[in-house]
Amino acid sequence: MIDKNSPLPIYSQIEEYIKERIEKGELKPGDVLPPEREYAEQFDVSRMTIRQAINNLVNDGLIYRKKGSGTFIAEKKFEQPLQGLTSFTEDMKGRGLTPSSKLLSFELIPASANIAAVLHISEYTPVYEIKRIRMADNTPMALETCYISANLIKGLTEEIINQSLYQYIEEKLQLEIGEATQVIESALANDLEVELLKINDGDPILLIERCTYLKNGTPFEIVRSSYRADRYKFTSKLKR
């Protein structure tokens, strides 16, 4: 399988070999990767060459190391295109997955100065505060907090937000959703995120803050989410 006379570096060939086994399902998420020594003997190469291949696969997110336990095959990441505005529910259904949420709290609260400024409302105006865990096929994907203008998006109930908020807004309230602005940054998971997203202490997460607008330009929603970086990645198509 390894051609030592090929212009392609040996570590790259070993990378491709392991990738192929993952793609074919011979190595499944959660499986332990054979130790470096075993690969070194199999391919008759140095352990440093194997380590280079393994490091590249770790950097690509295909495998991960767990201190004291070994190297494991990672779960496949969900790709989220940055073009187009969809809800979490719509996005997961489009992937053939079953979306669900675990509601942590649902309250009507007075808007803080910061929330009011973003939603273009007066301070202390009522807003819905919704905290929930977003899941796909019962796997926690994100910890989400929403702030929604209660005077604009009326009649919200737990039943509605457990289904599809955007569908309720467009079909029941007959309001047209237009666009959103979104900021993404990386961080390390805090204690609450570790507990609720079932990840390890110090794991990376993607922090996303989005403000969503109706077609007439009125902001109606702020969403602050902590996504599991081991299960999610964002893609965009750029044109010159």
CB of 147 closer than 8 Å to CB of 101: no
- Residue 240 counted as domain residue: no
- Residue 202 counted as domain residue: yes
- Considering the domain architecture, whether residues 103 and 208 belong to the same structural domain is answered as yes
- Residue 5 counted as domain residue: no
pLDDT over 70, % of the chain:
89
pLDDT at 125: 96
- Average pLDDT, integer, range 159-171: 88
- Considering the domain architecture, whether residues 44 and 130 belong to the same structural domain is answered as no
- Residue 154 counted as domain residue: yes
Say if residue 167's pLDDT is above 60: yes
pLDDT at 57: 87
Say if residue 236's pLDDT is above 80: no
- Considering the domain architecture, whether residues 126 and 193 belong to the same structural domain is answered as yes
- Considering the domain architecture, whether residues 114 and 167 belong to the same structural domain is answered as yes
pLDDT at 85: 59
Which CATH number goes with the domain that contains 46? 1.10.10.10
Q: Which are the contacts of 236, defined by CB distance < 8 A and separation ≥ 6? A: 81, 82, 83
Which CATH number goes with the domain that contains 132? 3.40.1410.10
- Considering the domain architecture, whether residues 207 and 136 belong to the same structural domain is answered as yes
- Considering the domain architecture, whether residues 152 and 200 belong to the same structural domain is answered as yes
- Considering the domain architecture, whether residues 203 and 161 belong to the same structural domain is answered as yes
Q: Which helix (H) or strand (E) holds 64?
A: strand 63-66
- Residue 170 counted as domain residue: yes
Residue pointed to by tokens 């979306």 = 99
Give the chain's domain count: 2
- CA distances, 21 to each of 4, 58, 71, 83, 161 (Å): 20, 15, 15, 32, 41
- Residue 128 counted as domain residue: yes
- Average pLDDT, integer, range 51-80: 80
- Considering the domain architecture, whether residues 127 and 23 belong to the same structural domain is answered as no
- Residue 2 counted as domain residue: no
Q: What is the pTM of this model?
A: 0.66
69 pLDDT band, cuts 50/70/90, is confident
- Considering the domain architecture, whether residues 116 and 211 belong to the same structural domain is answered as yes
Q: What angle do CA 222, 227, 228 make, to 5 degrees?
A: 175
User: Which of 54, 73, 92 is the last residue before a domain boundary?
Assistant: 73
- Considering the domain architecture, whether residues 100 and 14 belong to the same structural domain is answered as no
User: Which of 73, 94, 118 is the last residue before a domain boundary?
Assistant: 73
- Residue 119 counted as domain residue: yes
Residues 21-44 have pLDDT tens digits of 888 888 888 888 888 899 899 988
- Considering the domain architecture, whether residues 107 and 58 belong to the same structural domain is answered as no
User: Which of 46, 73, 100 is the last residue before a domain boundary?
Assistant: 73
- Considering the domain architecture, whether residues 143 and 197 belong to the same structural domain is answered as yes
Structural domain boundaries enclosing 55: 10-73
Q: Which one has a higher pLDDT value, 84 or 202?
A: 202
